[in-house]
Amino acid sequence: MKIGNNIYKLIFLDTNALREIVTDTNSAGKGFLQNFFINTTEYAPCFSIYNVIELVPYGDIFDQFIEFFSVIPCILTFPVKSIFQKEYDCYITGSTFQIDNNIAYAFSPISSDQNHDCKKFFDNILNNKPLIQTIHSELDNFPSIATIWNKKRENAKKLLKTLQLPLNLIDEKFYKSQEKVTVLKDLQNFNIPVTSNTDIFNLPAARMMEYSHFSRIYFTQKKIIPNDVMDIQISCIAPYVDAVITENFQADVYKKAKRLIPQLKKLEIYTLKDIRTK
């Protein structure tokens, strides 16, 4: 993607990676710059507006975030509905999906355009009360969604036990048989006007989110927390970036998703250890 006068690969940072980079600059922050920016000058970090707004109440961490990302080119993605809507519009019109100002915003410290100044952008965002309220309303729903997903897992286990069926019955084969119906239902929940005739092959963002969702519920027994809900939703951008940095479980999800979603074939997958200096 072009930012300023240069072309960069986009490397997506999830909640864990973003927080570790800005709070442990001597290790993760330094390692990130050395491995993905300074030495190669190929990658530009990409992160979700959800992650940033979540940091705001933690003043010191938010200040560290602004300080760190104000000096390098980076991309901020908008709420997931905007990504799904653009993907669906591209599917309907037969056009190519591109990350543009409809779904993301680019920052560059070397741009003369003040609109691309990271600090000034977030100053303006934080003063936009209707927008902040909208994002907070989504974030405030994450705890209840996490509770529902935990109950969904437990109910599935109880049903299988009652029917005397193995707990591993809900596997990838089962997922594939249910994928289209589930993906379309998810999109309808976001008010995207899909129909039963919609070809989900052309909707890799929605497919990525749903596979992350399914994996978090059925392929681990770890209690689902609000940050998991966030990371599941923001994983939808993966088919449209070049690389991701995430924790081990989600990294494994991306690796498995490559077999299911062709648009992920070239995705580079890194974990937190790849940004920690020794």
Question: Whole-angstrom Cα distance, residue 36 to residue 275?
Answer: 9
Sorted by where each begins, the domain ranges of the chain are: 2-275
Residues of the chain short of pLDDT 70, as ranges, are 4, 39-41, 110-116, 278
CA neighbor of 45 nearest in space, from 91, 88, 13, 83: 13
Residue 115 confidence (pLDDT):
62
Q: Which residues have CB under 8 Å from 9's CB, separation 6+?
A: 1, 42, 43, 44, 241, 242, 243
Question: Whole-angstrom Cα distance, residue 174 to residue 69?
Answer: 42
Q: What are 55's two structure tokens?
A: 């940091």
Residue 124 confidence (pLDDT):
82
Residue 111 confidence (pLDDT):
62
- pLDDT tens, 106-140? 888 766 665 667 888 888 888 888 888 888 888 99
Q: Residue 239: exposed, middle, or buried by beta-carbon count in 10 A (0-12, 13-18, 19+)?
A: buried
Task: Tell me what percent of the residues of the chain surpass a pLDDT of 90.
Answer: 65
Residue 179 confidence (pLDDT):
96
Whether the CA torsion 189, 190, 191, 194 is positive or negative: it is negative
What pTM, to 2 d.p., does this model score?
Answer: 0.91
Q: Are strands 74-77 and 104-107 parallel, antiparallel or unpaired?
A: antiparallel
Residue 35 confidence (pLDDT):
87
